[in-house]
Amino acid sequence: MMHFRALLALSLITALHGDPVTLNTPREFPSIDSREEWQSRAKDIREQILVSCGLWPLPDKVALGAKIFGKIERDGYSVEKVYFKTYPGFYLAGNLYRPLGKGSGPFPAILNPHGHWDNGRLADEEAGSIPARCISFARQGMIAFSYDMVGYNDTRFAGDPDVHRKYGTSRTDELWGINAMGLQLWNSIRALDFLESLPDVDRKKLACTGESGGGTQTFVLGAVDDRLAAQVPVVMVSHSMQGGCNCENAPGLRVDYSNMEIAAAAAPRPQLIVGATGDWTKTTMEKEGPAIASIYKLLNAEDRFKYVRFDFGHNYNKTSREAVYDWLGHRLLENPDLSSLKEQPYQKEADVDLRVFPDGKLPDDALTMEEFIAARKAERSATWQKLLPQDKESLVRFKEFMAPAWQHIVQTDWRPGTGFASTISASVKPGNEKPKEALVVELGGEAGSPAKNHEALTFLRLPWTEEPDRDETSGFYTSYNRTALQQASDRLISAVINARRTRLAGRVILLGSGSTAISSLMAAPVADAVAIDCNGLDPSADETLLKPGLFAPGLRNIGTYQGAAMFAAPNRLLLYNTQGKFPTADIEAAYRAAGASDKLEIIPGPKTREEILAWAARP
């Protein structure tokens, strides 16, 4: 028997037995060689953000029903209280600052998300003042809307004001893509809708600026919503610290990408980033700024990007604000008076006069956190049901919507048309000197199973050992690292793709049993045929999905393991040993829609190794 080596390239950010990546692990900006390469990467970043935030596909938009009241007029500006509905039973609140004495507009409009100040959008300190910048924007001739992050001031759930670091933190929430970052991003998208609805807003001149956690909101919004004509994230774009709150660390978000790349995804739209010598943005001038500038240069938009740094600690102080006034003023205003772009003395209103619900009483239909989470799960389930294929046309639509979700939930490094960064070797053992028509790929393989002569099959065994014990539940682990299921699935996907490239066989077949069975099923969309020992698993139960080796954030949003099997239609699929517990109705529907019911076999009982190989050998 001849043995030969096939070099299979696998790209892994986290080595199989290396230290986990954390929010403080230094990141490098990738080398990008062409406009097309970056545009593909930027698209991938946008998809990853939306999938990680539980917003793929985007939810239906309810009527805002905005309430604007309590107007106070001051020198050169007015300020009003605002609240509107972003989801049924959830209200976003804030303050709307408008120019006075400058006509009826339309005016540029700027969103102002805030960082983790104790007083949220009402913070007025030397290191940073949200009212100061909003007043200044209004006096300069721009509308400014400051709004709460979840759990601050007036934006919260009924009966529970202290939710900022509690919402969407359970493992079950992760299965549904329910997290604070996703809720805040959706609130920001709806805040843009609100600004667009105002008759005195110039819809072509929308911008966003925020500091720290508000800076994260700024560049994440800019990456997914091209309505922003300009953005200014302040003291947050860093290669060495990615964000320290769950509202900045959606699961899966930074397995492949850092804040530098997310900020760059807005290119070629105008952007200013502001750093400080006294925090994690201290290398803005040497590292982050030049990295992002390289993308603007690649897109012939060098004049649309600027980066600055000031000698302060973590801040959005007057010096930083005036740099932003100047940059945004020249971008959004017609022939601005340079003197007006300096901050004038201001007086913040008393908190009670800015609060929307100062007595803590929310609208009658406001939901508790538990009710809201239940509603989000029901919404995601309904979305899945709407997308289920009934015919070939709806199957195409299903795959268009859900295949990107599969890709990012599996966290595969493989992207169509891309290469891989490193290589490992795996043994391929054919029965003679000529590779066979079909290549069988197994991860680890069945203990004691032979890879010997077979009339039609070549065997490729990928080495696999279980991950060392890691706590996948702490330190935002899943934001930066693959779970054991994702690691195994990605390795199989890479092996299949590379087997095709090296032309080891005409067909590539995945066999999955034991601890790697589900990872083989998750890789099914890239294989020609897949046979899986379901081992009586019941993925309708959260207890199953939360087990080590079976967990991946967002699984519920692709129908758990069924989704990957559905994406494989019309290729051959054998699910055996289901024991009547593994749900297959949606898989059967997908194969019927593809006109390929004959390619799907579902067996309640077990099968022998010989029976599986005989199935694999069939064309």
pLDDT one-digit tens code per residue, 130-147: 999 999 999 999 999 999
234 in Cβ contact with 210 (< 8 Å): yes
pLDDT of residue 420: 33
- What's the mean pLDDT when you consider all of the chain? 91
pLDDT of 330 higher than 50: yes
Token pair in block for residue 619? 């064309």
What pLDDT, on the 0 to 100 scale, is given for residue 465? 64
Q: Compute the distance between CA of residue 274 and CA of residue 229 in angstroms, rounded to an integer.
A: 18
Contact predicate 23/476, CB 8 Å: yes
242: pLDDT strictly greater than 80: yes
**Residue 260 per-residue DSSP state:** H
Alpha-carbon 50 to chain mean position: 4
Q: What is the pLDDT of residue 426?
A: 40
Alpha carbon distance 458, 437 (integer Å): 8
Give the C-alpha distances (Å, rounded to integers) separating 615 from 497, 581, 600, 609: 22, 23, 12, 10
Q: Mean pLDDT throughout 230-258? A: 97
Work out the average pLDDT over 164-185. 96
Average pLDDT, integer, range 193-220: 98
Instruction: Quote the CA–CA distance of 341 and 343 in Å, as a whole number.
Output: 7
CB within 8 Å of 129: residues ≥ 6 apart = 123, 316, 321, 348
Q: What domains lie within the chain, and their CATH numbers?
A: 4-30+389-617 (3.40.50.1820), 52-377 (3.40.50.1820)
d(CA 284, CA 395): 47
The pLDDT tens digits of the residues spanning 370-398 come to 999 999 999 999 999 999 999 999 999 99
What SS3 state is found at 194? helix
pLDDT (0 to 100) of residue 105: 93
Question: Which two tokens mark 180?
Answer: 């604070």
451-491 pLDDT tens trace:
455 777 888 888 776 666 678 888 899 999 999 999 999 99
- Say how far apart CA 301 and CA 197 lie, in whole Å: 30
Percentage of residues of the chain with pLDDT beyond 70 = 91
Q: Is pLDDT above 80 for 448?
A: no
Measured CA to CA in angstroms, residue 346 lies from 62, 107, 212, 474 at distances of 37, 21, 23, 43
Residue pointed to by tokens 């009826």? 104
The string of pLDDT tens digits covering residues 106-131 is 999 999 999 999 999 999 999 999 99
Overall average pLDDT of the 416-439 stretch: 46
Residues 223-241, mean pLDDT to the nearest whole number: 98
Which whole number is the average pLDDT over 205-213?
98
Q: What is the mean pLDDT of residues 78-100?
A: 99
What are the backbone angles phi and psi of residue 584, rounded to the nearest 5°? -130, 0
Statement: residue 421 has pLDDT above 50: no
Question: Which pLDDT value is given to residue 2?
Answer: 27
Q: Is the pLDDT of residue 303 over 60?
A: yes
Taking 70 as the threshold, does the pLDDT of residue 424 lie above it?
Answer: no
CA neighbours closer than 13 Å in the CB half-sphere of residue 51: 29
Least trusted range by pLDDT, from 144-153, 160-169, 221-230, 563-572: 160-169
Rounded Cα–Cα distance for residues 34 and 295 (Å): 9
Residue 61 pLDDT: 98
Q: Which of 440, 456, 577 is nearest to 601 (CA)?
A: 577
Predicted confidence at residue 504, as pLDDT, reads 66
d(CA 85, CA 372): 13
Instruction: Enter the pTM of the model.
Output: 0.93
Is there a contact between 340 and 139 (Cβ–Cβ < 8 Å)?
A: yes
Contact 140, 329 (CB under 8 A): yes
pLDDT of residue 428: 44
CA dihedral (370, 372, 373, 374) in degrees, to 10, reads 80
Long-range contacts at 370-377 (CB < 8 A, ≥ 24 apart): 371/89, 371/158, 372/87, 372/89, 372/90, 372/157, 373/167, 373/168, 373/173, 373/178, 375/87, 375/88, 375/89, 376/54, 376/87, 376/176, 376/178, 377/176, 377/178, 377/556
Provide the pLDDT for residue 336: 86
Supply the pLDDT for residue 415.
55
CA angle 273, 274, 275 (to 5 degrees): 125
Task: Classify residue 129 by its DSSP letter.
Answer: B
Q: What is the full DSSP assignment across 477-532?
A: HHHHS--HHHHHHHHHHHHHHHHHHTT--SEEEEEE-GGGHHHHHHTGGGSSEEEE
Percentage, residues of the chain above pLDDT 90: 81
User: Under a CB-based contact definition with an 8 Å cutoff, are residues 415 and 40 in contact?
Assistant: yes
> In this structure, what token pair is assigned to residue 186?
């959706």
- Residue 242: name the closest of 208, 211, 212, 273 by CA: 212
Instruction: Encode pLDDT of 342-355 as tens digits.
Output: 999 999 999 999 99
State the CB neighbour count (10 A cutoff) for residue 286: 11
Q: What is the C-alpha to C-alpha distance for residues 433 and 445, in angstroms, rounded to an integer?
A: 22
CB atoms within 10 A of CB 432: 10
**Confidence band (pLDDT; 50, 70, 90) for 433?**
very low
For 46, other C-beta atoms within 10 Å of its C-beta total 19
Q: Is the previous residue joined to 336 through a cis bond, with omega within 30 degrees of 0?
A: no
Beta carbons of 558 and 521 less than 8 angstroms apart: no
pLDDT tier, 174 (very low <50, low <70, confident <90, very high otherwise)? very high
